[in-house]
Amino acid sequence: MNVIEFPGLWGLKFYVNRSFPVFGIDIYWYGVIIAAGFLLAVLLGLKDSRKFGFESENIIDLVLFAAPVAIICARLYYVVFNFDLYRDNLLNILNTREGGLAILGGLIGALGTACIYARVKKIPLMKLFDFAMPYFALAQAIGRWGNFVNQEAFGTNTTLPWGMTGNEIRDYLSREQFNLTEHNIFVNPNIPVHPTFLYESLWDLGVFLILIWYRKRKKSDGEVFFLYMVLYGLGRSWIEGLRTDSLWLGNLRVSQVLSVVFVIFFGTIFVLRRRKIALSLSENVAVGTSEYGSVLEKLKEEDRAHDTDSDGAAVEIENPGDARAENKGTAEDGRDESPTDFTGNEGEHGPDEDNKYSS
């Protein structure tokens, strides 16, 4: 029975075992917790798949391919940078029941599998990534609690009230104290440490909520995926800097360096794509405004032409009236005895027609 303590939180203690027996077989909580997070992510993905244009059968097939590949890659990533632990017993590489999975390796394996699957099935890759990444972040948030049970993925000493300690934490720090000093990490096994597994779990939960919110507001395919890589990279880069069990390449923390690369690379892509979309929208607005202006100008010209025609018609109407008045005047003076018709034009009638009108 292991003990995990939080001395600054009213002396809170948890008594946990790494495993529990089922029919004589030890089942490790680490694997159960990771499987629970994975299962919840898959179920939520299946629930929402049709709303985003994906068939549930394709999601299930992808999971069946990606899950084992992700586990293998997560293990290989861990083993490559901790090979001294397995040099004398290579078969122990296959033993993942007590931990030793690197999430970044699993991420790389899952994304690679998805790329191949999307190409074969002719599914839009970026659209698929945008759909899947929120659930991946949720699975990470849950899976991190496997580190709590194993008393791993913790940080350096802290005096914060939520600092944790435990029998296995103290044993690890005592055992690795010399190796840590080679990387300028100085620890006291008897002082509580940062619960970095908790930091990352809460961070991943926040990333999940942000991605779910943003997924409905994205401007183009790929934005949710790029945002995940940036947000996860930001969190992992500073949390990794606190940890005492980092994977090292010389004096560099491998996961921290990779996380920084994620932030810079995918952040640049995200910004450039957003600027391109904004520029395209502004050009469309400019074109639309120009076309609208030309239409208005054309309508104004038609109105002016119509007004001109109306003025001309008014002048023509006035002239016949003047002509009638003039004809009437000349008739009274006896200068022209020809009758005038109702249109105002002088008549061309003969004598008989004059008698008809006079009668």
Distance between CA atoms of residues 331 and 325, nearest Å: 10
* pLDDT, tens digit (0-9, with 9 covering 90-100), for 274-308: 999 888 877 666 555 555 556 656 776 776 776 66
Q: How confident is the model at residue 359 (pLDDT cuts 50, 70, 90)?
A: very low
**Amino acid sitting at position 135:** Y
**Which structure tokens are listed for 83?**
């090979």
Residue 145: which of 214, 106, 201 has the closest Cα? 201
Helix axes of 196-215 and 223-240: crossing angle, nearest 10 degrees: 170
Q: Is the dihedral of CA 161, 165, 170, 172 positive or negative?
A: negative
| Residue range 16-38: mean pLDDT, rounded | 93
User: Hunting for tokens 């010209």 — which residue is that?
Assistant: 301
Q: How confident is the model at residue 345 (pLDDT cuts 50, 70, 90)?
A: very low
Residue 110: which of 58, 61, 62, 66 has the closest Cα? 66
Count of CA atoms in the C-beta half-sphere (13 A) of 321: 5
| Residue range 141-164: mean pLDDT, rounded | 96
Instruction: Please name the residues in contact with 156: beta carbons below 8 A apart, sequence gap of 6 or more.
Output: 185, 187, 193, 194, 242, 243, 244
Distance between CA atoms of residues 296 and 294, nearest Å: 5
User: Over 60: is that where the pLDDT of 253 sits?
Assistant: yes
Residue 31: which of 84, 67, 83, 80 has the closest Cα? 67
The answer to whether the predicted template modeling score (pTM) of the entire model surpasses 0.95 is no
The mean pLDDT of the chain is 86
- Chain centroid to Cα 5, Å, comes to 38
Distance between CA atoms of residues 291 and 294, nearest Å: 5
Q: What is the pLDDT at residue 349?
A: 46
Burial of 148 (0-12, 13-18, 19+ CB in 10 A): buried
Distance between CA atoms of residues 129 and 222, nearest Å: 7
Q: What is the residue-wise DSSP string for 58-93?
A: HHHHHHHHHHHHHHHHHHHHHHHTTGGGTTT-GGGG
* pLDDT, tens digit (0-9, with 9 covering 90-100), for 194-248: 999 999 999 999 999 999 999 999 999 999 999 999 999 999 999 999 999 999 9
Q: What is the residue-wise DSSP string for 313-329?
A: HHHHHHHHHHHHHHHHH
**Which structure tokens are listed for 331?**
């008739």
* pLDDT, tens digit (0-9, with 9 covering 90-100), for 62-93: 999 999 999 999 999 999 998 988 998 898 89
Q: What is the pLDDT at residue 96?
A: 83
